[in-house]
């Protein structure tokens, strides 16, 4: 049943072309991860990062797909773009000009995207300079300097290289969204995490062989992974269906409407965006603090290392905030209520217009709280437990949420392509629903 569904993918020329295009661009991204930045001793840098496992660098390295520990041209990853997107979305709510652009539709969105690109370049320059200055003071555990020739020549070269790498990743993500299967930025992060998982699995097996981890602990971790994946799939497919009734209308000699339907509200309508945004916000100052040669900044960064109480509390707070923020940005109850009113739709027992908007907003607020608690629990609890067993970050809740969530969205988009061309989906009964 499922096999025949996947077989139908290659019967649709457009979908086949989109998949191959997406795979080719992701392959280009993975190749770029291994292109080093000039002027850096790769061996000394790797030794330094091996000694920094379990800190914020572990999380940052996970999101860059291993590019940071090698200081490749893609070392900054896609995080500056995500940070710029957050800043623009926040400014949209306080700057009238940006709010007007958002309401202008496609043309306004193009302008906002252009501003986001400019912001990405600015943030990349700032982060690149901070990393370059920090690298000059780094030494491996054996005392070897990470940078061969320190100075402004190295700093400028590093800033240009890292900024160009981030700009290229941003372009790859936009191309995957427009010409590929969609969700370009999420797929790039997905590819980075998945590519690191075999190495993490091999490392875990090595820990078991060296008796640094017991078989019992490994079994617990595997059971935990299966449970977390099951919970993610179950919740991501969950909906709160608000019944909607459409009044009958007579047009000429025909009668239209009168049917009953529902308004589906996702429990986690923000998807994997909150943990990605939260990680980006936490990592930006923490990375600068780690590279900066300032004692009190390093103390603050050490206090917020993954697995610590302060890191977990801050992470949960940001996840809850971005769950509500992103839901508010992408779903407007007032617009939904107005569209329902224009087409003669109403919620039984609720007056059309403002009362309907207030009701939808109230329901959305409640289920978003449940979704935020679910995302926080999935991202934090497994990581706290796994940290106790000294297991790599790739088995943590954040990585699993991103991998499973993006996979569900991608499969849902492929299924929609097949169904619109009268092919069966992946499952004969039911369908796979994405988050949007």
Q: Which whole-number Å values give the CA distances from 218 to 50, 230, 385, in the listed order?
A: 22, 18, 12
pLDDT of residue 382: 66
Give a yes or no: residue 89 inside a domain.
Answer: yes
pLDDT value of position 1: 46
Residue 310, pLDDT score: 79
Phi, psi torsion values for 256, nearest 5 degrees: -115, 160
pLDDT of residue 121: 93
Domain assignment present for 15: yes
Contact 407, 191 (CB under 8 A): no
Buried b (16+ CB within 10 A) or exposed e, 125-153: bebbbbbbbbbbebebeeeebbbeebeee
Which run of H or of E encompasses 243?
A: strand 239-246
Question: pLDDT below 50 — which residues of the chain?
Answer: 1
Q: Which tokens in the block code for residue 120?
A: 């990405």
Determine, yes or no, domain membership for 226: yes
Order of strands across the sheet with 239-246? 260-266, 239-246, 345-346
Q: Does residue 313 lie within any of the structural domains?
A: yes
Q: How many domains does one find in the chain?
A: 1
What lies within 8 Å, CB to CB, of 20 at 6+ separation is none
Phi/psi of residue 224, each to 5°? -60, -40
Task: Report the distance separating Cα 130 and Cα 249, nearest Å.
Answer: 64
Say if 425 falls within a structural domain: no
We report the CATH number of the domain holding residue 250 as 1.10.3370.10
On whether residue 431 sits in a domain, the answer given is no
Q: How many CB atoms lie within 10 A of CB 108?
A: 15
pLDDT at 267: 87
Q: Which residue has the tokens 């040669």?
A: 293
Separation of alpha carbons 346 and 98, rounded Å:
32
Question: Is 150 inside any structural domain?
Answer: yes
Task: Supply the pLDDT for residue 112.
Answer: 86
Strand partners, 241: 264
The predicted model scores a pTM of 0.76
C-alpha pair distances (Å), 390 with each of 21, 200, 202, 307, 379: 38, 11, 14, 11, 17
Token pair belonging to 391: 């297991």
Residue 210: give the domain boundaries. 2-420
Whole-number pLDDT of residue 164: 92
DSSP 18-67: HHHHHHHHHHHHHHHTTSBPTTB-HHHHHHHHHHTTTSHHHHHHHHTTTH
Closest CA to 376 of 235, 167, 187: 235
Please state at what angle helix 152-179 crosses helix 106-136, rounded to 10 degrees: 150
Is 22 inside a domain boundary? yes
Q: Which residue blocks in 137-214 are alpha helix, DSSP H?
A: 152-179, 184-209
Q: What are phi and psi of 249, to 5 degrees?
A: -130, 140
Residue of 130, 62, 82, 77 whose CA lies nearest to 306: 62
SS3 state of residue 264: strand
pLDDT for res 150: 78
- Backbone φ/ψ region at 71: left (φ over 0), alpha (ψ -120 to 50), beta: left
């Amino acid at each position: 049943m499922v096999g025949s569904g996947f077989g139908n993918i290659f019967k649709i020329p457009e979908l086949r072309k989109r998949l191959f295009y997406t795979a080719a661009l992701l392959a280009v991204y993975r190749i770029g991860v291994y292109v080093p930045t000039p002027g850096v001793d790769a061996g000394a840098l790797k030794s330094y990062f091996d000694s920094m496992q379990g800190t914020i660098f572990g999380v940052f390295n996970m999101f860059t797909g291993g590019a940071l520990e090698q200081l490749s041209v893609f070392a900054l990853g896609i995080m500056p773009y995500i940070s710029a997107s957050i800043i623009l979305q926040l400014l949209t709510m306080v700057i009238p000009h940006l709010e007007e652009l958002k309401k202008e539709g496609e043309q306004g969105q193009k302008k906002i995207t252009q501003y986001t690109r400019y912001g990405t370049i600015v943030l990349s320059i700032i982060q690149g300079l901070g990393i370059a200055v920090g690298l000059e003071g780094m030494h491996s555990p054996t005392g070897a300097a990470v940078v061969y020739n320190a100075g402004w020549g190295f700093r400028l070269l590093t800033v240009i290289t890292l900024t160009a790498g981030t700009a290229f990743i941003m372009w790859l993500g936009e191309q995957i969204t427009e010409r590929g299967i969609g969700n370009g930025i999420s797929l790039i992060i997905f590819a980075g995490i998945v590519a690191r998982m075999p190495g993490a699995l091999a490392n875990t097996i090595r820990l078991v062989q060296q008796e640094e981890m017991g078989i019992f602990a490994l079994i617990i971790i595997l059971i935990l992974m299966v449970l977390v994946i099951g919970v993610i799939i179950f919740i991501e497919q969950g909906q709160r269906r608000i019944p909607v009734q459409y009044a009958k209308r007579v047009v000429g000699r025909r009668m239209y409407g009168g049917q009953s339907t529902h308004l589906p509200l996702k429990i986690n309508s923000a998807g994997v965006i909150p943990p990605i945004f939260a990680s980006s916000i936490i990592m930006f100052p923490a990375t600068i603090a780690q590279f900066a040669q300032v004692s009190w900044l390093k103390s603050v960064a050490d206090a917020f290392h993954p697995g610590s109480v302060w890191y977990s509390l801050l992470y949960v707070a940001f996840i809850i905030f971005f769950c509500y923020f992103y839901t508010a940005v992408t779903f407007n109850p007032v617009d939904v209520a107005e569209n329902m009113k224009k087409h003669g739709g109403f919620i039984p027992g609720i007056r059309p217009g403002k009362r309907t908007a207030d009701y939808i907003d109230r329901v959305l607020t409640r289920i978003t709280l449940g979704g935020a608690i679910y995302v926080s629990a999935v991202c934090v609890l497994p990581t706290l437990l796994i940290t106790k067993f000294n297991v790599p970050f790739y088995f943590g809740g954040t990585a699993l949420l991103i991998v499973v969530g993006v996979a569900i969205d991608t499969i849902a988009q492929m299924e929609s392509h097949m169904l619109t061309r009268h092919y069966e989906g992946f499952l004969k009964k039911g369908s796979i629903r994405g988050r949007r």
